[in-house]
Chain A
Amino acid sequence: MQRPNSLGHLSVIIIFMMVMILPLLGTLLYSISTSWSSGLLPDGITLKWYTSLFADHRFLQAMMNSVLVCLGALLLTLVLVVPTAFIVFYYFPFLKPFMNFIILLPFAVPPVVSSVGLLQIYSNDVVTLTGTPWILLGAYFTVALPFSYRAIANNMANLNLQDMLDAAHLLGASTFRAFFTIVLPNLKTGLMVSLFLSFSLLIGEFVFANILVGTRFETVQVYLFNMKTRSGHFSSAVVVSYFLIIVLMTILAGQWGKKQ
């Protein structure tokens, strides 16, 4: 296909990338500079902000907390959403529009609103979940739900579940067994891609983590927020380390997507 003005398109994309990368580039340079008071470039290059960051027990703990709570929430999402999507698609296809509707609810109810209710419901003498990571598992499930359900449902729509299950039943497998040995392996690629993308989404979550749990189980976002009074170089090192996780997750998602 002949692309007549691809030079124009090329320059648009290059300008877009150059502008969008500015905040990242500035942060990266700031995180490796001794000081940067004037001029185009920093006064000197150093890795001391990173060494002090990775020697900070609180930072490592926050990283660990973030990874743990994100993995936990993703596991919960997977365990709840995959069977649900299967049951809806195989047994009750008439529920599909209803599901498409209810997964929009998290968009209409932002985290700060849910937090108002969650704080009232789960911090009393009977149930005290606030201040513990457990409440984040449930809250993060709602954050990841729209994206993971959409990804899984799109994959299932391409599977021809009815024929697949009929064949399995004919060969004597139960629906239960067919789900684990046929449906799940067929969903694997889509699941992995949506997992990596949801991980990037969840590790960037701040509002729930700050309001519901705060410093009692500090995630990396809350840590960064609480470090705002420390040197800008130091917080830049946190931002860069955090962004590297996103880069890693996006690349992993891309690699899995290619396998399809």
Chain B
Amino acid sequence: MVSRQAGKKALFLLMPFILVFFLFQVLPLIWVFVDSFKSNLGEEWGIGNYEYIFESRYFRQALFNSLKISLYSSIVGMLLALPCAWSLHRLSGRLKELTLTFANMIANFSGVPLAFAFVILLGANGCLIVLLDQLGIQLGFNLYSALGLILIYSYFQIPLAILLMLPAMEGLRDEWQEAACLLGAGKIRYWISIGLPVLMPGILGTFIILFANAMGTMATAFALTGGNYNLLTIRISNLISGDIFLDPWLASALSMVLVFILMLVTLANEWLIKPGRLRAKAK
């Protein structure tokens, strides 16, 4: 048994972790929270910053763009990842291993390098664009637009969604499909009545992670558009390290708006992945 004294010593040994976690994770958040209530360039206390954000067309657009790109890229990523994850689940052996390793690498291929790779492929003079142009196909595609961002975001969402969905797929037992087939259900019927309902908590949980991931990310869009595209994260960054106009207090208020959305989403996810929650509710 653990003696009381040993317990005290152990508690003491937790201190370094608590200290570093506090200094680099908790304290910055508290600081941002407090600073967000200093409006007028930090001159007066109040909710002035928040009023300003929600009255300003510019910041409302940033919030709207962030939500839009996160939502669309999560939907596209999810829809494309589902069949891939299912096929991967049904495969076995070396090919499965290879695909998993590949998905793992691609999941880490994001941010600045990914933006560069897409510029080379689909930028104004990108290889694919030039190639299609010579074949007489004009896409009229602009990589630096919302559509371009949704495309790039979807690219890093797909491998992430596959890796997150695979464990959920394991919960789908082969016997169920055989049983459904014996009872005369076709493939579509099987997916509607059995497959999708069983996968639903996993799909929702993964979708939420994708959405939060897209909301909080900044490097890809920043590298691609040089901070010109109006996103929440880019506005925050420009307010603390841009070269035109600095207002860390306003950046703090914008940050709290983002954190509020992400907290909501993270908590929803925790609630969803608790096993049995959805099934219990369905009963």
Contact = CB atoms under 8 A, between A and B. Distances in A.
Interface of A: 1, 3, 6, 8-10, 12-13, 16-17, 20, 22-24, 26-27, 29-30, 36-40, 76, 79-81, 83-84, 87-88, 90-92, 101-102, 104-121, 138-139, 141-142, 145, 175, 197, 200-201, 204-207, 210-211, 214, 221, 224-225, 228, 232, 235-236, 238-239, 242-243, 246-247, 250-251, 253-254
A254 B101 contact: yes
A207 B158 CA distance: 22
Given A80-B17, A87-B14, A204-B108, A110 B91 contact: no
B155 A37 contact: no
A107 B266 contact: yes
A211 B25 contact: no
Interface residues of B, number: 84
8 contacts: A1-B174, A76-B20, A104-B266, A111-B216, A112-B236, A113-B258, A207-B237, A250-B104
Nearest to A4: B90
Interface of B: 2, 6-7, 10-11, 13-14, 16-17, 20-21, 23-32, 35, 83-84, 86-88, 90-91, 95, 97, 99, 101-102, 104-106, 108-114, 116-121, 126-128, 130-131, 134, 155, 158-159, 174, 212, 215-219, 222-223, 226, 233, 236-237, 240-241, 248, 251-252, 255, 258-259, 262-263, 266, 270
B135 to A, nearest CB: 10
B121 A211 contact: no
B184 to A, nearest CB: 18
A109 B258 CA distance: 8
Contact of B113 (A139, A243, A250): A243
B13 A246 contact: no
Contacts of B155: 20, 23
B236 A116 contact: yes
